[in-house]
């Protein structure tokens, strides 16, 4: 390693701290990934690309070096320079030691990509996948399938909490892992219902797993750790922030075979999770509510504008993934750009290539190229008014 990296990891206590948390893994790999967790914010694509290309240790060396050695075509020089400007102020060995020590003190564990317990769905996030996970509880729960994400409003109504509890309880009772975010409202109702039937549930947090947020769910998190796991990509000691909540949502969506929105307002943050699910090609379900209820306006919006599937029972939730053949499930993960394009399309409303480009964030030229490929596969069709997904 270069001198710059050594200065960050020069504390002689770091390697033993990494070994205590993962005595079964390469301590240098564990330490490098823990250092990355301290350096970056969740979902940092530049860090993910660098680690994927060079490995965690060498990537860390390059990230903190002044010579900016890069694989050609990996990152633009300006993008790499901006990334280094983000990372350098956090390059402190004490911060890494504090995170490792805090994790050990609360009985936590570090989970690395490639571990048997690593949730494979997170790999679909590509360069935005977490570089490691900080876990308290049963790490084996993270690899268990089937799993479904249950999300919704914090300010849930009694109707929403009752429906979430019924769905989560029925699903967990039949062996489905319930994944959510540990928040008040729908999240909490889903976790409690899963635990109530002796099922498995996982809570992804926006801050470190050594602290309870919200604090009112301290006892709930204690119960979750006995019947599942509490997980974060933010190192121990990290505080939850608005950005981290939004990025945490991508993990919830990626960890499940499908995402179900139980209750959400018109501009609810829950719709962010639904967007991640759609971008990943995960089936998306929404529970309808009273048409006069503002708390269900977001669900109705998903049903009307985003082709979510109406679900009213645990059986209908299972159909979100049971109805997909293995070939269809694999195809949904094959090409992120195809996923973005098909997500922008409707099976009812025809849209032209320019409109699809705006909705998908792809160039019009790329959209036209992908439409041709999808048409050959029979998954889209062109009419006089534009393109639609085939039923």
Q: Provide block-wise average pLDDT over 10 residues at a time, the chain (391 residues).
A: 58 93 95 96 93 92 77 80 91 95 97 96 94 97 96 95 97 96 97 97 98 95 96 96 94 96 90 91 95 94 91 96 57 64 83 86 83 81 88 64
Residue 72, pLDDT score = 65
Residue 39, pLDDT score = 95
What is the C-alpha separation between 272 and 313, in angstroms, rounded? 23
Residue 71, pLDDT score = 65
Residues 318 and 349 in one domain: no
Residues 6+ apart with CB under 8 A from 114: none
Residue 293, pLDDT score = 93
Residue 199 falls inside a structural domain: yes
Query: Which domain CATH number covers 138?
Result: 3.40.50.450
Task: Name the nearest CA neighbour of 261 among 247, 276, 248, 246.
Answer: 276
Residue 185, pLDDT score = 96
Residues 181 and 162 in one domain: yes
Residue 326, pLDDT score = 46
Residue 226, pLDDT score = 93
Number of domains in the chain: 3
Residue 1, pLDDT score = 37
Residue 70, pLDDT score = 67
What is the C-alpha separation between 258 and 331, in angstroms, rounded? 15
Residues 23 and 151 in one domain: no
Parent domain of 36: 3-105
Query: Which domain CATH number covers 359?
Result: 1.10.10.10
Residue 335, pLDDT score = 64
Residue 117 falls inside a structural domain: no
222: its two tokens? 């204690």
- 165 within 8 A of 189, measured Cβ to Cβ: yes
Residue 69 falls inside a structural domain: yes
Residues 254 and 363 in one domain: no
């Amino acid at each position: 390693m270069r001198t710059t990296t050594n200065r960050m990891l020069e504390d002689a206590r770091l390697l033993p701290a990494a070994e205590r948390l993962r005595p079964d893994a390469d301590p240098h790999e564990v330490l490098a990934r823990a250092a990355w967790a301290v350096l970056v914010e969740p979902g940092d694509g530049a860090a993910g690309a660098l680690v994927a290309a060079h490995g965690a240790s060498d990537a860390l060396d390059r990230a903190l070096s002044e010579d900016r050695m890069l694989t050609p075509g990996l990152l633009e020089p300006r993008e790499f320079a901006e990334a280094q400007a983000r990372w350098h102020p956090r390059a402190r060995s004490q911060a890494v030691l504090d995170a490792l020590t805090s994790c050990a003190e609360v009985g936590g564990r570090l989970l690395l990509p490639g571990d048997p317990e690593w949730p494979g769905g997170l790999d679909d996030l590509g360069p935005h996948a977490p570089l490691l996970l900080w876990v308290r509880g049963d790490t084996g729960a993270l690899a268990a399938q089937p799993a479904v994400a249950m999300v919704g409003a914090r300010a849930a109504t009694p109707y929403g909490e009752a429906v979430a509890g019924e769905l989560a309880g029925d699903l967990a009772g039949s062996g489905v892992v319930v994944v959510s975010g540990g928040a008040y409202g729908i999240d909490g109702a889903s976790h409690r219902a899963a635990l109530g039937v002796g099922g498995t549930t996982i809570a992804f947090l926006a801050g470190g797993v050594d602290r309870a947020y919200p604090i009112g769910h301290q006892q709930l998190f204690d119960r979750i750790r006995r019947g599942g796991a509490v997980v974060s990509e933010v190192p121990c000691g990290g505080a939850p922030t608005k950005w981290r909540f939004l990025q945490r949502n991508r993990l919830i969506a990626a960890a499940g075979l499908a995402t179900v929105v139980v209750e959400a307002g018109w501009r609810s943050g829950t719709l962010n999770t639904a967007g991640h699910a759609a971008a990943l090609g995960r089936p998306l379900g929404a529970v309808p509510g009273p048409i006069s209820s503002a708390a269900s306006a977001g669900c109705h919006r998903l049903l009307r504008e985003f082709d979510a599937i109406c679900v009213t029972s645990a059986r209908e939730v299972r159909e979100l993934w049971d109805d997909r053949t293995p070939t269809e499930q694999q195809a949904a993960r094959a090409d992120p750009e195809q996923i973005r394009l098909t997500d922008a399309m409707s099976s009812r409303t025809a849209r032209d290539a320019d409109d699809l480009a705006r909705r998908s964030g792809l160039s019009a030229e790329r959209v036209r190229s992908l439409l041709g490929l999808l048409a050959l596969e029979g998954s889209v069709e062109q009419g006089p008014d534009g393109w639609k997904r085939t039923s």
